[in-house]
C-alpha cells in the first residue's frame, strides 16, 4: 500500500528525516513509535505532501507521491488525522464532516470511488457524533473531537489512514473506546499508519512496529519482538 524508500526531509536548513524507509502492506496497521521530537510528525507530513522530502521516494500502490500536491495525495486515497485534531471550532459536527467530503470531491472534480463513506456510515462507527451532530466543534470533549477528526478523515474515502497520536491528552477509558473503533476500521480493510506514544494502544491495534530516533528508524519488528527487548523499550520508549 505505502512504501517510503530512504526519504530525507528538511525544514529549511534543519535536517530532520535522515533516511527513513518503511512499509505498510494492504490491510495492515503499522505503528510508528518514538520519543518527542524524533520525526514522527515529519514523516507523516512528508507522506501527505505538506513537507515533501528532498530525497528518496514515497509510493502509494506503486504511484510516486513525492512530487504531488497535498490535495492530489489526499484524492489518491491518503487520509490524515492530524496531531492536535484541528477540527473547525465554529462549524458543527455535521458541517465538519460534510465540508471534508465536499473538499475531497472538489479536488480535480472526481471522488475516490472506493470506500463510499457517508454521514450515516461515520455515525455508525461513532454514535456519539450523531448525538452531537448539531454541536459546535469547540463545544466537544477531547474524545469527541478526536472521533470527529477521525470521521472527517474517513469522509475523504481513504485507503490509507495516517493517524498522528490519536490518544494524546485523552483519559484511559476514552482511549479504549477510540482504540476499539480504530481496530474495527482495520478489520473493515483500511490500511493504517499509527503514530503513538501510548504503547498499549499501539500493541493492541498494530501488526508491526517501527521505532524512530533522531530522524532514523532504529527498530522494525513485531510487537512481541519489541516487548521482549526491554533495553530497547526502556531506551527509546521510556518504559
Ligand X SMILES: Nc1ncnc2c1ncn2[C@@H]1O[C@H](COP(=O)(O)OP(=O)(O)OP(=O)(O)O)[C@@H](O)[C@H]1O
In the block, cell 486515497 appears at: 77
Q: Nearest distance from residue 38's CB to ligand X, in Å?
A: 4
**Is residue 236 within the footprint of ligand X (CB under 6 A)?**
no
Least separation in angstroms between residue 84's CB and Mg ion is: 9
User: Shortest CA distance to 100 belongs to which of 39, 148, 68?
Assistant: 148
16 is in the binding site of which of ligand X, Mg ion, none (Cβ under 5 to 8 A by kind)?
Answer: ligand X
Running DSSP on this structure, what letter comes out for residue 92?
B
Q: Quick one: 77 exposed, middle or buried, by C-beta within 10 A (0-12, 13-18, 19+)?
A: buried
Nearest CA to 31 among 173, 171, 237? 237
Choose the stretch contacting ligand X; rule: CB under 6 A; options: 30-38, 68-76, 119-127, 154-162. Answer: 30-38
**Between 40 and 79, how does the x/- string for binding to ligand X read (CB under 6 A)?**
xxx-------------------------------------
Q: Kindly write out the interface string for residues 67-86 of this chain, putting x where it contacts Mg ion by CB under 5 A and - elsewhere.
A: ----------------x---
Cα–Cα nearest to 158, from 107, 204, 203: 107
Interface residues toward ligand X, by CB under 6 A:
11, 14, 16, 34, 36-42, 83
Amino acid at each position: 500500500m505505502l512504501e517510503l524508500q530512504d526519504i530525507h526531509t528538511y525544514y529549511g536548513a534543519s535536517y530532520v528525516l535522515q533516511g527513513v524507509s518503511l512499509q505498510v502492506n494492504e490491510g495492515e496497521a503499522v505503528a510508528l513509535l518514538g520519543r518527542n521530537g524524533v520525526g514522527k510528525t515529519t514523516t507523516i507530513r512528508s507522506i501527505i505532501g505538506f513537507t515533501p522530502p528532498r530525497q528518496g521516494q514515497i509510493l502509494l500502490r506503486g504511484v510516486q507521491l513525492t512530487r504531488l500536491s497535498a490535495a492530489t495525495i489526499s484524492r489518491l486515497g491518503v487520509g490524515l488525522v492530524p496531531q492536535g485534531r484541528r477540527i473547525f471550532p465554529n462549524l458543527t459536527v455535521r458541517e465538519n464532516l460534510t465540508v471534508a467530503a465536499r473538499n475531497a470531491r472538489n479536488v480535480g472534480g472526481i471522488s475516490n470511488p472506493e470506500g463510499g463513506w457517508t454521514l450515516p456510515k461515520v455515525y455508525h462507527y461513532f454514535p456519539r457524533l450523531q448525538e452531537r451532530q448539531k454541536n459546535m466543534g469547540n463545544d466537544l470533549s477531547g474524545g469527541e473531537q478526536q472521533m470527529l477528526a477521525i470521521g472527517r478523515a474517513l469522509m475523504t474515502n481513504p485507503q490509507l489512514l495516517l493517524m498522528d497520536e490519536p490518544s494524546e491528552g485523552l483519559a484511559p477509558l476514552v482511549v479504549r473506546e477510540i482504540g476499539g473503533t480504530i481496530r474495527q476500521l482495520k478489520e473493515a480493510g483500511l490500511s493504517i499508519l499509527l503514530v503513538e506514544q501510548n504503547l498499549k494502544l499501539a500493541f493492541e491495534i498494530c501488526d508491526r512496529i517501527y521505532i524512530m530516533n533522531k530522524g532514523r528508524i532504529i527498530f522494525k519488528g513485531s510487537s512481541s519482538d519489541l516487548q521482549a527487548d526491554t533495553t530497547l523499550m526502556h531506551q527509546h520508549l521510556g518504559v
